Amino acid sequence: MLRSLVGSEMCIRDRYQRRVRGSGSSYMHADQRTLLSIKYSHGALELLDQKLLPAQFVYNKVTTCEEGWNAIKSMQVRGAPAIAITAALSLCVEALSRREELSSVEDARKWLLDRLDYLVTSRPTAVNLSNDTTRLKSLVMASGASTGGELIDEYVQIAEEMLETDVADNMAIGRYGADCIRAQEGVPEQARVLTHCNTGSLATARYGTALGIIRALHEGGNLAHAYCTETRPYNQGSRLTAFELVYEQIPATLVCDSAAAALMATKGVDAVVVGADRVVANGDTANKIGTYSLAIVARHHGVKFYVAAPFTTLDVNMATGEEIHIEIRAEDELACVNGQRIAAEGIGCWNPAFDVTPA
């Protein structure tokens, strides 16, 4: 599965690149082309505060599960894969700091399970968090460790491997998705691709899912142009996706959310590619609010709509999208921008973070 989007011309590439490259390399991958949302070394975790992008680059240290929980809940870190990894690694850091204290295997097991139960409450819709915490809990329960320290070391090793697995999964999604679009009947050698929200390096350990497909097309010389929506009300498209595209010098244009239909009708789009926060048994997909609208518009214009997601986003325990719990965010996120109210006082707000696109 996979899905589509569009926007207004980028005229700030040079300014962004000078700012990013001039502010130090601590938030970049070693190849200097990809931003890092998560910086981790054994026992040390820092998260790029994505609420401040693109104006500021601030990494916040995370030393406890409470700090990890708050970073996820407040959307300092976001994106289903990155949320799950952040939760797992925040527990790594705290567990290592309490390794001597939790000397008995019984105490360590109970503490780890309680912490995982707590972390999973931070964001309810993204299934990666639930799936990964369930898997980690099963491994903790099944461990044959004889001491608390051994159990903690086993947990840390497994959680750290999640970083490497996520990168490998993302690069595979990029290759497969690019091949799929290139093989699509009627798509020119260089495709025009629309995406929604942010599904790149800032939403994952690195490379990205839907944006990873755009990267792979670009790297292979098969991308004519990328379009990204602003993705109101949190503007992940204009703040984050646009930033990644500009930084990596991928030809791209930003459009407002309501311009997608006009874009397809006038400029043309060959494919829409989005990410997912939960894909249930029948293929119904929960993703950032506005995805459902894009799918309808893409179908009307005969544009292929792709959902790019790793296996950890699948939830086979839910039969249809009607069972998905949709997170409702605070009214201020819709009514205010940077703390300044833009909506009339007294107006009610309905602010779902996600919608469900039927299979």
Q: What residues act catalytically?
A: 277
Chain-centroid distance of CA 350 in Å reads 23
Encoded tokens for 322: 């009607």
Encoded tokens for 75: 């959307």
C-alpha count within 13 angstroms, C-beta hemisphere, residue 97:
13
Contact 261, 289 (CB under 8 A): no
Contact 201, 36 (CB under 8 A): yes
Contact 120, 129 (CB under 8 A): yes
Instruction: Report which DSSP code applies to 200.
Output: S
Measured over the CA atoms of residue 51, residue 56, residue 57 and residue 58, the dihedral's sign is negative
State the Cα–Cα distance between residues 39 and 1, nearest whole angstrom.
30
Encoded tokens for 333: 């996120």
Measured over the CA atoms of residue 333, residue 339, residue 343 and residue 345, the dihedral's sign is positive
Buried b (16+ CB within 10 A) or exposed e, 173-192: bbeebbebbbeeeebeebbb
Pairing of strands 38-41, 191-195: unpaired
Encoded tokens for 347: 């107006």
Place of tokens 């048994």: 281
Describe the chain by its helix, strand, coil percentages, rounded to 5.
45, 15, 40
